[in-house]
């Protein structure tokens, strides 16, 4: 039975005190929603959070971006990477940090999920750019990829220990997908849980929608959802991090996704080539061999 057709028994507030949204995140999301995020505003927000500043600088100086000169300040990082990309990175870093706090025993698993999420973010951005050219939604595409599995972070926090063992368990093709295990244990899957948190935290509606639909085979006609599905597939195939699954939901037909996105065989090969190159950068950054 699919998550959407059964009553939702999982309640974020009742099951556990979900960390309240960090203030810096509220402000960044508000600016994102109102489309008023200026470089100066973003710099001020990030500078108030030294841990966030340090991690953004580390990312800006990583093999992801290979800038010739060392990026020493947040304002320099914003000039080089752009307001939208730094906004997305700040949101992702903040969320993963918020949920990892106090989860020491599962930190390695959450780090694998963060690696997977970054990989999907980079790949969705590439797919979107290839199909639509550089435009505003390109950075939104990155954010959709980065947060598509947000619900899993909530499940880690809500069910310490138990969710970790479901996530870490070795699964074969004949086993259920992680969505199946989640539904069996919690009555909902991470797509539903992720949408709940996205709504609760006031994320843009479209982002909450992509999080909810990223495993729904009837949504392949939605270009952003289809791009996330494709990027998810590539990240799993190349083992960029780990998202607790053995593969993509078998009800999603990749050939259909490619055709809905009008991606030719040649373009698909190019994308795979790009993904394997990026895979090296991502793994190096996260120090995974
Ligand atoms: Fe997922
Ligand atoms: Fe995923």
Q: What is the pLDDT of residues 60-76, one digit of tens each?
A: 887 667 777 888 899 99
The rounded distance, in Å, linking the Cα atoms of 284 and 177 is 28
Q: pLDDT tens across 265-277, in order?
A: 999 999 999 888 8
Q: How far is the CA of 240 from the centre of ligand 1 (A)?
A: 14
Q: Are 29 and 91 in contact (CB under 8 A)?
A: yes
Structure tokens at 231: 């990027």
| DSSP-assigned letters across all residues of 214-283 | TT-GGGTTSHHHHHHHHHHHHHHHTT-S--S-SSS-TTS-HHHHHHHTT--HHHHHHHHHHHHHHHHHHH
Cα atoms in the 13 Å half-sphere on the side-chain side of 135:
8
Cα atoms in the 13 Å half-sphere on the side-chain side of 227:
25
Q: Are 225 and 45 in contact (CB under 8 A)?
A: no
Q: pLDDT tens across 176-213, in order?
A: 899 999 999 999 999 999 999 888 888 889 999 999 99
Ligand sitting nearest the alpha carbon of 182: 1
The rounded distance, in Å, linking the Cα atoms of 230 and 249 is 11
pLDDT score at 3: 41
- In the chain the domains, ranked by start, together with CATH numbers, are 19-101 (no CATH), 105-289 (1.10.3210.10)
Ligand sitting nearest the alpha carbon of 151: 1
Ligand sitting nearest the alpha carbon of 152: 1
CA distances from 272 to 109, 140, 235 (A): 25, 22, 10
Q: Are 86 and 141 in contact (CB under 8 A)?
A: no
Using only C-alpha atoms, the chain has a radius of gyration, in whole angstroms, of 18
Q: How far is the CA of 39 from the centre of ligand 2 (A)?
A: 30
Ligand sitting nearest the alpha carbon of 233: 2
**Which residues are CB-neighbours of 153 under 8 A, at least 6 positions away?**
95, 96, 99, 110, 113
Kindly list the protein residues that place their beta carbon closer than 5 angstroms to ligand 2, a single-atom ion.
Answer: 149, 232, 243
Ligand sitting nearest the alpha carbon of 236: 2
Q: How far is the CA of 48 from the centre of ligand 2 (A)?
A: 31
Q: pLDDT tens across 159-176, in order?
A: 888 999 999 998 888 888
């Amino acid at each position: 039975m699919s998550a959407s057709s059964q009553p939702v028994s999982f309640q974020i507030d009742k099951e556990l005190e979900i960390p309240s949204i960090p203030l810096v995140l509220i402000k960044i999301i508000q600016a994102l929603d109102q489309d008023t995020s200026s470089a100066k505003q973003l710099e001020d927000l990030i500078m108030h959070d030294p841990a966030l500043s340090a991690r953004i600088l580390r990312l800006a100086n990583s093999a992801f971006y290979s800038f010739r000169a060392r990026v020493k300040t947040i304002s320099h990082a914003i000039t080089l990477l752009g307001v939208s990309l730094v906004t997305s990175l700040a949101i992702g870093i903040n969320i993963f940090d918020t949920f990892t706090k106090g989860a020491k025993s599962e930190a390695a698993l959450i780090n694998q999920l963060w690696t997977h999420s970054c990989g999907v973010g980079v790949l969705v951005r590439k797919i979107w750019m290839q199909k639509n050219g550089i435009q505003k939604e390109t950075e939104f595409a990155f954010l959709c990829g980065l947060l598509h599995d947000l619900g899993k972070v909530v499940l880690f926090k809500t069910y310490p220990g138990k969710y970790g063992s479901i996530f870490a368990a070795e699964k074969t093709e004949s086993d259920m997908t992680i969505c199946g295990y989640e539904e069996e244990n919690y009555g909902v899957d991470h797509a539903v849980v992720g949408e709940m948190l996205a709504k609760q935290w006031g994320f843009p509606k479209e982002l909450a929608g992509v999080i909810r639909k990223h495993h729904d085979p009837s949504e392949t006609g939605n270009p952003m959802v289809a791009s996330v599905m494709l990027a998810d597939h590539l990240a799993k195939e190349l083992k960029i991090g780990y998202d607790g699954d053995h593969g993509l939901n078998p009800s999603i037909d990749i050939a259909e996704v490619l055709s809905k996105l009008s991606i030719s065989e040649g373009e698909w090969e190019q994308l795979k080539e790009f993904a394997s190159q990026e895979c090296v950068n991502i793994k190096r950054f996260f120090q995974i061999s």
